[in-house]
């Protein structure tokens, strides 16, 4: 809603500025549902797609694949899809943070490989407790990220170069850790394999969905009441109700569908809970506010007394930690820490997902949820093409085209903002 | 960031809210003998400059006259090589911008330093976010509602025309952005505010709004230093004018007793022999007024 408002005046650059009172009309908070819908439609007509683009894209992809192969929307395949997107999804959460800063991290694929290798060495070779091993893998990722962040800030080297070096360096580290065998297997049925492979019971799935809806409702309603009491602009009751009901419907349909297969995969729960956590980190904490400020205007942040470089290093650490967490998830999915884990397209897809989901490459704008929606698009294409046996050629072309389209949308809406 | 909240309350910070006119005319900032060299270039030579509470003093001069250098010396960005710096009756020697801010001097730079991607509230409270006390020790969660409320009151008190404090700064007009930057500076409860070319690049209406705003600041008892190229703006709001010319004092004028021609002459140096009224003895009126007060 605020986004719509913020874009309002941009539509009329001619009247903007000299006559602030006309601008005021654009800023007026919508008071009814109908008004919100019409504002949204006006924004769409201007080419400002917002978050609707990614939803439209997902629906389109699903309709196309389902019409070609009726297996696509089958419960087991959707269960697979949910598991497939969670690995890259964790990595993309770190990517969102990096992009918010206006930086880039090309080492995430290699770091996820290192994370899996560390896990394999510690748990399978040295006999560590599996959960301690996971923690150690994530810490290792954070350390590698911190190192890159320090090089980036101390020597003022562009992050593209630092992390390109990191990509190669950590790939070497991964191969060295794995030794001559080249891969470390996690026995089937062990804690590591079970982590990703298992699902919660149907009842637990509904319980979690209910918990999420209650939490959302409580936050939205108390937030609205506080704003209303403070005399600030607040959403009309209808919109609040629609938001909560829509979320509830979507969540329960997803759980119902996944329950028809086995249940909600733990991997998906971890991904969604972390996505919610990152959303809160970015939008509700002082730290997130500082990250957005550094990404929007580093000089302004510096003058406001923010330790800009400390923020940068910490975000690289988060990116490394999330990449390693993704690596752990992937190792659990595959059942082994191998040499090619973290290679291939995972790096590029993880960045592409954040961008397709609507996080700007130019810094300062984006959301943790873009990791979820972006991976839903990429995962659907990947999964659907796989079902059609179109493994590589078309798959790359389609995902590439979607990525370019997403960046074009980003640039176009950027132009709207700056005119 | 916590330094702001933990800082002991400053003297005089409380009575400012009670209304303007407190101690009007009291010299707040007194610079004498300020010099700054860049290699062989004397950017500033033996400058004296005074700013008084409840008064707008304009700092004018041609390009390269040393206005920016003097501002940077005051704001601590580039401390002067020599000179005494007396603030609020005490001799101080600030080394860094944070020292200056702590004294109670706020600077609004020409580039405003706002983050376009954040909303008005986010920009106002950047670096001094208000947190929920209950969760403070575990997670520093921002209390956005109370920040928005204070932002609204602050902007309304300044007469700034910003309809929605939750709109992103990128969607605001130049005048509105200037108002946000000034409001931001005021959150630190300064005693003196430096405005660097606040009306440059603004249209007629917006310029009027910003000038109105500077008068509001003055009425609240702040010392306002207005750096400007535009003499009609200066004559519209300033009480005194300090002219810099080639890194030296070019003359001090009281707006009520001078003409544009005299100020232009001092800026350009074309009529250096005009009776530069106050240039010879700028300290005396200050002293006498002070004497009358106490």
Domains defined along chain A, listed by start: 9-13+50-198+265-417 (1.10.3470), 199-264 (no CATH)
Name which of A49-58, B71-80, B112-121 the model is least confident about: A49-58
Nearest to B203 among A5, A17, A305 (CB): A17
Nearest to A287 among B3, B140, B168 (CB): B140
DSSP states of A132-183? HHHHHHHHHHHHHHHHHHHHHHHS---HHHHHHHHHHHHHHHHHHHHTTT-E
Angle among Cα A302, A303, A304 to the nearest 5 degrees reads: 90
pLDDT digits (tens, 9 = 90+) for B36-49: 998 888 889 999 99
How far apart are the C-alpha atoms of B235 and B231, rounded to whole Å? 6
Residue B7 pLDDT grade (very low, low, confident, very high; cuts 50, 70, 90): very low
pLDDT digits (tens, 9 = 90+) for A246-260: 999 999 999 999 999
Closest alpha carbon to A368 in A268, A274, A279, A277: A279
**How long a stretch of residues is chain A?**
419
3-state SS class at B162: coil
The pLDDT score that the predictor gives to residue B158 is 85
Nearest to B205 among A9, A16, A18 (CB): A18
Q: Which residues of A touch B142 (CB under 8 A)?
A: 284-286, 289
Please judge whether B142 and A8 are an interchain contact, meaning their C-beta atoms are less than 8 angstroms apart.
no
**Residue A276 neighbours by CB distance under 10 Å:** 16
The pLDDT score that the predictor gives to residue A413 is 67
pLDDT digits (tens, 9 = 90+) for A121-157: 999 999 999 999 999 999 999 999 999 999 999 999 9
How far apart are the C-alpha atoms of B282 and B48, rounded to whole Å? 9
Nearest to B115 among A6, A18, A296 (CB): A296
Angle among Cα A195, A198, A200 to the nearest 5 degrees reads: 115
Q: Which residues of A touch B188 (CB under 8 A)?
A: none
Containing H/E element for B45? strand B41-52
Please judge whether A233 and B116 are an interchain contact, meaning their C-beta atoms are less than 8 angstroms apart.
no
Among A17, A220, A221, A276, pick the best mutation site for testing chain B contact (most B Cβ within 10 A): A17
CA distances from B158 to A304, B14, B183, B185 (A): 21, 18, 8, 12
C-alpha torsion A373→A376→A381→A382, nearest 10: 130
- Give φ, ψ of B107 to 5 degrees: -120, 130
ipTM for the whole complex: 0.81
Task: Show the tokens assigned to B126.
Answer: 């950047």
How far apart are the C-alpha atoms of A336 and A116, rounded to whole Å? 8
CA A297 to chain centre: 23
- Collect the ranges in chain A with pLDDT lower than 50: 1-27, 419
Tokens 């580290």, residue located: A173
- Give φ, ψ of A224 to 5 degrees: -65, -45
pLDDT at B286 over 50: no
C-alpha torsion B57→B63→B64→B70, nearest 10: 20
Give percent helix, percent strand, percent coil of chain B, each to the nearest 5.
Answer: 35, 25, 40
Question: What's the average model confidence in pLDDT over B95-105?
Answer: 86
The pLDDT score that the predictor gives to residue B131 is 93
The pLDDT score that the predictor gives to residue A417 is 57
Question: What's the average model confidence in pLDDT over B54-66?
Answer: 91
Residue B3 pLDDT grade (very low, low, confident, very high; cuts 50, 70, 90): very low
Please judge whether B148 and A230 are an interchain contact, meaning their C-beta atoms are less than 8 angstroms apart.
yes
Angle among Cα B15, B20, B21 to the nearest 5 degrees reads: 100
More reliable by pLDDT, B230 or A167 = A167
pLDDT at B2 over 90: no
The pLDDT score that the predictor gives to residue A14 is 38
pLDDT digits (tens, 9 = 90+) for B250-281: 889 999 898 888 999 898 887 545 444 444 44
The 3-class SS string of chain B reads: CHHHHHCCCCCCHHHHHCCCCCCCCCEEEEEEEEEEEECCEEEEEEEEEEEECCEEEEEEECCCCCHHHHHHHHHCCCCCCEEEEEECCEEECCCCHHHHHHHCEEEECCCCCCCCCCEHHHHHCCCCCCECCCCCCCCCEECHHHHHHHHHHHHHHCCCCCCCCCCEHHHCCHHHHHHHHHHHHHCCCCCEEEEECCCCCCCHHHHHHHHHHHHHHHHCCCEEEEECCCHHHHHHHCCEEEEEECCEEEEEEEHHHCCHHHHHHHHHCCCCCCCCCCCCCCHHHHHHHHHHHC
The pLDDT score that the predictor gives to residue A40 is 65
Chain A residue with the nearest C-alpha to that of B147? A230
**Residue A317 neighbours by CB distance under 10 Å:** 23
Question: What's the average model confidence in pLDDT over B118-138?
Answer: 91
Closest alpha carbon to A190 in A91, A331, A341, A327: A331
């Amino acid at each position: 809603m605020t986004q719509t408002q913020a874009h309002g005046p941009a539509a009329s650059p001619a009247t903007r500025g000299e006559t602030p009172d006309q601008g005021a009309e654009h800023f007026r908070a919508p008071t009814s549902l109908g008004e919100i819908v019409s504002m949204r439609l006006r924004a769409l007509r201007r080419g400002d797609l917002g978050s609707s683009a990614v939803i439209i894209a997902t629906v389109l992809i699903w309709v196309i694949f389902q019409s070609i192969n009726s297996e696509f929307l089958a419960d087991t395949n959707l269960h697979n899809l949910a598991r497939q997107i969670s690995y890259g999804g964790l990595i993309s959460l770190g990517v969102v943070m990096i992009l918010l800063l206006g930086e880039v991290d090309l080492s995430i694929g290699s770091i996820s490989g290192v994370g899996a290798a560390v896990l394999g060495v510690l748990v399978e070779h040295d006999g560590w407790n599996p959960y301690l091993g996971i923690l150690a893998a994530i810490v290792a990722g954070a350390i590698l990220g911190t190192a890159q962040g320090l090089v980036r800030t101390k020597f003022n080297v562009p992050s593209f170069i630092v992390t390109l070096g990191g990509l190669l360096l950590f790939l070497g580290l991964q191969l060295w850790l794995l030794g001559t065998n080249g891969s470390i297997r996690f026995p089937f049925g062990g804690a590591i394999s079970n982590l990703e492979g298992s699902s919660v019971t149907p009842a637990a799935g509904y319980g979690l969905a209910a918990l999420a809806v209650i939490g959302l409702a409580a936050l939205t309603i108390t937030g609205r009441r506080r704003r209303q009491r403070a005399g600030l602009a607040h959403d009309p009751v209808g919109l609040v109700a629609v938001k909560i009901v829509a979320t509830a419907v979507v969540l329960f349909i997803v759980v119902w569908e996944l329950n028809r297969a086995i249940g909600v995969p733990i991997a998906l729960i971890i991904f969604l809970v972390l996505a919610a956590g990152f959303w809160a980190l970015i939008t509700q904490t002082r730290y997130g506010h500082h990250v957005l400020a550094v990404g929007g205007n580093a000089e302004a942040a510096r003058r406001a007394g923010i330790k800009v470089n400390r923020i940068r290093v910490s975000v690289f650490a988060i990116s490394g930690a999330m990449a390693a967490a993704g690596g752990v998830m992937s190792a659990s999915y595959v059942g082994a820490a191998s040499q090619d884990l973290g290679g291939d397209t995972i790096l590029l897809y993880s960045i592409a997902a954040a961008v397709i989901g609507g996080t700007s490459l130019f810094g300062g704008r984006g959301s943790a949820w873009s990791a979820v929606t972006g991976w839903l698009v990429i995962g659907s294409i990947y999964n659907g093409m796989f079902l059609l046996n179109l493994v590589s050629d078309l798959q790359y072309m389609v995902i590439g085209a979607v990525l370019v389209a997403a960046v074009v949308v980003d640039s176009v809406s950027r132009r709207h903002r700056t005119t | 960031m916590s330094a702001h909240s933990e800082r002991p309350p400053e003297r005089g910070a409380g009575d400012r809210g009670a209304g303007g006119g407190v101690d009007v005319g009291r010299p707040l900032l007194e610079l004498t003998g300020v010099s700054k060299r860049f290699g062989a270039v004397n950017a500033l030579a033996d400058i004296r400059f005074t700013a008084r509470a409840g008064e707008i003093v304009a700092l004018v001069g041609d390009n390269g006259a040393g206005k920016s250098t003097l501002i940077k010396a005051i704001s601590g960005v580039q401390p002067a090589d020599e000179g005494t710096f007396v603030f609020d009756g005490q001799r101080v020697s600030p080394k860094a911008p944070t020292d200056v801010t702590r004294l109670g001097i706020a600077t609004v730079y020409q580039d405003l330093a706002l983050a376009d991607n954040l909303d008005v509230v986010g920009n106002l409270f950047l670096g001094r976010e208000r947190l929920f006390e209950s969760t403070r020790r575990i997670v520093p969660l921002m209390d956005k509602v109370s920040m928005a409320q204070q932002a609204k009151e602050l902007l309304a008190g300044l007469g700034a025309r910003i309809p929605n404090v939750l709109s992103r700064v990128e969607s605001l007009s130049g005048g509105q952005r200037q108002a946000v930057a000034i409001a931001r500076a005021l959150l630190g409860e300064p005693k003196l505010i430096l405005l660097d070319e606040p009306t440059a690049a603004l249209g007629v209406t917006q310029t009027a709004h910003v000038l109105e705003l500077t008068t509001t600041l003055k009425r609240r008892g702040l010392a306002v230093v207005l750096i400007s190229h535009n003499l009609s703006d200066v004559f519209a709001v300033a009480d005194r004018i300090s002219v810099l010319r080639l890194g030296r004092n070019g003359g001090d004028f009281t707006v009520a007793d001078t003409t544009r021609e005299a100020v232009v002459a001092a800026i350009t140096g074309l009529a250096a022999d005009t009776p530069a009224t106050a240039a010879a003895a700028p300290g005396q009126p200050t002293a006498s007024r002070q004497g009358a007060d106490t």
